[in-house]
Structure 1
């Protein structure tokens, strides 16, 4: 097991951008920037014995800052915070105080506002080379940032195991009641040729999904997946029942005990033989098949187009801060926010 620090030569907000590579004895490795804790590479051995990168991204860090990329920004591989997905009308109330956020997705707030955790340089506070390589990043979001209340300190640890598990462990504390819902936004493609993910086989362990309005904001209603295109309780090709013009951009309520670490999702790609299993303590998983993806000059000069990847975003229910029936996304000063999500790679043959 090893950890390597690689300076990028880039300074943002007076902070140096550094890449961290975690490598296990199999040669699998993950490369993470301290800017937005972006997972730039996740390289594993496929069934043919070839080393294969399973996440979308860029060859150069500077490309993550390119105005053309940011104009149709897909949040490649980054942490999402303070609040994942949408907050309806960009507004929520804690106690007697109402907070109005930036409305950066129509009338709603998306992924933490205009400049979220994904575009901040995080401190590297701990590095370990054994027995499993890991790195811990920390970011302090000050009171009033993006108009969220409270000084919030977030620690995010990435650990790569000998079993090709990438473990993400989150902790957060605040000095004032605030809304928090963190996730990570990696775009996966398990095919050696990348391309459309419609033939990837997908399973999600959820009997219900969340109704959304026309702006993809959750309404509070649960809908059974049985008899619908959203039924992934048994493994099937992603494109088997989908609307080809929409794909999937839906939150699934997992069949699990709240807070327990359990299997949420399993994705299989036949040519590579790779299996991505996602375990989480979170109550929901959001499946996004990248309808709006339109990125030029990705890794190896490849363009990334609609449906060229899938995301499994583990989190609390979107817009839960406005829906009392959902598990709370309010963090109080005496509480500790915790979350664990594991991306485990294995072979299907």
Structure 2
């Protein structure tokens, strides 16, 4: 097991950009930047015995902050917060006080606003083999959220090919919080559309969304719909090819229990990505809006060439009293664990 810290020689807003490489005894390798807590590379061994990167990303750090990339920004590999997904009209009320957030996605607030945790330089707290702990302190009023929020995020790579993400957060006054990781995965050795990946999710219900993908609190059974992944099937089997999936699923689980959120396999590589989480929700996104130039090895990333499993609390929950609580108060600790585990193909 090995952890290596690399100075990139780059800065953002005067803060040093560092890369941290985690490698296990199997040669599985993960590269993480302290900017946005971005997982830039996740290299595993496929069934042909070849090394394969299963996440979308860039060869050079500068590409993550380039004007072209930010103009059609897809949050490649980043942690998003202070509040993942969409908040209706960018508005919420907390302890009787109304807050107006940025409307950075139509009329709504998406992924924490204009400059969320995905665009921040995190402090490297420790690099103990084989793990990395990052910290970001979000000051009160940042993106108009109340309270100073301190977030610690630990990445740990095991010899079982598990990449474990452990989140902890505290605040000095009441605030709202909903964190997730926005990695795009593609398990094919050749890249391209993920429509033939085999996918399943233990989720009997999904959440109704408006035309801008904002949920209103209504649960809809997946049975008899294109959203039914209770049994394994190709991602593209039932989808609208002009839309793909951008849908929030309610996992069949006990609240807070660490269980399977999804399992996705690709026959050519023989790889399966299993995602486990303590969170109640998995937002499944197949990259309709992907439009990235000069990705890994100079290749572009187009629509439907990556999928995201965004584990989190219910979107817009701060405005829907029947949803699980996303309010954090002084003296409380927000915690979440999500695991990305690479396994031999088990579903077909």
TM range (shorter): over 0.9
Structure 2 residue 270 is the aligned partner of structure 1 residue 276:
no
Do residues 145 (structure 1) and 174 (structure 2) align?
Answer: no
Q: CA RMSD in A?
A: 0.6
* Aligned-partner Cα distance in 2 for 1:149–1:277: 35
Q: Paired residue for 1:123?
A: 123
Q: Does 1:323 align with 2:315?
A: no
Is 1:53 the counterpart of 2:50 in the alignment?
Answer: no
Matches within 5 A, 1:297-308: 297-308=294-305
Kindly report structure 1 stretches of 4+ aligned residues shifted beyond 2 Å.
none
Give, in whole Å, the separation in 2 of the partners of 1:206 and 1:52. Answer: 29
Residues in 2 aligned to 1:6 and 1:124: alpha-carbon distance in whole angstroms: 12
**Is structure 2 residue 97 aligned with structure 1 residue 100?**
no
Q: Which residue number in structure 2 is paired with residue 82 of structure 1?
A: 82
Q: Aligned equivalents of 1:16 and 1:265: distance in 2?
A: 36
The separation in 2 between residues aligned to 1:316 and 1:263, in whole angstroms, is 15
Q: Deviations over 1:33-73 (max 9, x none)?
A: 00000000000001110010000010000000110110000
SS class of match (2:256):
coil
Deviation string 1:97-125 (CA, Å, 9 cap, x unpaired) is 11100000111000000000000000000
Aligned equivalent of 2:18: 18
Listed one character per residue, the Cα deviations across residues 309-336 of structure 1 (whole Å, up to 9, x for unaligned) are 0000000000001000000100011210
Cα displacement (A) at 1:13: 2.1
Equivalent in the alignment of 2:217: 220
**Does residue 33 of structure 2 align to residue 33 of structure 1?**
yes
Structure 2: gaps of 5 or more residues = none
Report what 2:332 is aligned to.
Answer: 335
TM-aligned CA deviation for residue 12 of structure 1:
1.3
Q: Residue 253 of structure 2 aligns with which residue?
A: 256
Normalising by structure 1, we get a TM-score of: 0.99
Deviation at 1:14, TM superposition (A): 2.0
Q: Distance in 2 between matches of 1:223 and 1:85?
A: 19
